[in-house]
Amino acid sequence: MSRSKNILLWTLTVIITVSAMFYQRMTGPTYPKKVSAVLSGQEYNFKLLRSNEIGTPCDINLDAEDPDLEATIYFKRYKVDEPWQEVKMQRKASHKKAFFGKGDETEILTATLPEQPSAGKVEYHIDIYKNDQKTSIAADEPVVVRFKGFVPRSVLIPHVLFMIISLFIGTRAGIEALFKGGKTFKFTRITLIAFGIGGLIFGPIVQKYAFGELWTGWPFGGDWTDNKTIFAWLFWLVAFFVLRKKPKNRVWPVIAMLVLFAMYMIPHSMGGSELDNETGKIETGVRE
């Protein structure tokens, strides 16, 4: 394979990999929900928390540079038939994040939600008002925040790193097969190993720290993340053995790559662990 073609294929690999990672980050249920509201002819944009670590205050913050803006938050335990609690959000000084230094000082409206056990959830919505006008945020579809245990960086970083490597090299393996390159088997082997370490070794350990269980996928539960991980890994296992016998096979590595993409199209943590407040047990495979 010529050098220019090799550079082109690696560039294509980077673009596809970054796009898949960006999509999963933007669509995952653990990342802040972006909302907007119009009040007194002015548009306000907020990011609402949807995941919180146990032991860390579950602060719901609204950017509030407008000094006349006020807000009230309403919350209750998710899927529990209980009255909504109402708390007026307090104004305080904050600092915008910056790459260097503290960043600019600003003001926020903030309230702290009550901490829940691992996999417990709280749903909330907010009313913002200014002078005599008021509007609601997420009143029809309340935002849900899920609580999780602390995951040591020594576990989380290798998990994330190996998952990135598996997506990157797996993409390259599929592209190599499509363009009839000679390193398809090599890239498939690396993907199989990296995916196994990141998804099937470190993945369950991360889940153990976060939600108290190593494996909640088939046959023990319906956790989407566990199930899609083992499902995709098995396709790479098949591709590995097929290529070991038939190095020029292009079908299986391409199929394995497409399955890997399909896995990343399912938002991370969707259909994951959820505490049943009535039984005190953690359920899996439940969609919000």
What's the CATH number where 76 sits? 2.60.40
Give the number of domains in the chain.
2
Domain end, chosen from 126, 148, 170, is at: 148
pLDDT at 97: 66
Task: Please check whether residues 212 and 144 belong to one and the same domain.
Answer: no
What is the Cα 99 distance to its own chain's centre?
23
Domain end, chosen from 95, 124, 148, is at: 148
Q: What tens digit of pLDDT does each residue of 131-158 get?
A: 889 999 999 999 999 999 999 999 999 9
Task: Please check whether residues 54 and 171 belong to one and the same domain.
Answer: no
Is residue 288 a part of any domain in this protein?
A: no
Q: What tens digit of pLDDT does each residue of 203-221 get?
A: 999 999 998 888 877 777 7
- The order of strands in the sheet holding 58-63 is 58-63, 105-113, 90-95
- Which domain covers residue 239, as residue numbers? 3-28+151-283
Which of 123, 105, 110, 98 has the alpha carbon at shortest distance from 62?
A: 110
Task: Please check whether residues 118 and 156 belong to one and the same domain.
Answer: no
Is residue 174 a part of any domain in this protein?
A: yes
Residues of the chain with pLDDT under 50: none
Dist. CA 136–CA 251, nearest whole Å: 52
Task: Please check whether residues 120 and 185 belong to one and the same domain.
Answer: no
Is residue 76 a part of any domain in this protein?
A: yes
pLDDT at 6: 87
Task: Please check whether residues 214 and 108 belong to one and the same domain.
Answer: no
Task: Please check whether residues 118 and 208 belong to one and the same domain.
Answer: no
pLDDT at 277: 78
Task: Please check whether residues 171 and 128 belong to one and the same domain.
Answer: no
Phi, psi dihedrals of residue 259, rounded to the nearest 5°: -65, -40
Task: Please check whether residues 258 and 210 belong to one and the same domain.
Answer: yes
Task: Please check whether residues 97 and 23 belong to one and the same domain.
Answer: no
pLDDT at 94: 83
Which of 82, 60, 77 has the alpha carbon at shortest distance from 121?
A: 77
Task: Please check whether residues 74 and 144 belong to one and the same domain.
Answer: yes
CB 174 within 8 A of CB 257: yes
pLDDT at 232: 95
Task: Please check whether residues 167 and 207 belong to one and the same domain.
Answer: yes
Task: Please check whether residues 278 and 192 belong to one and the same domain.
Answer: yes
Domain end, chosen from 123, 148, 173, is at: 148
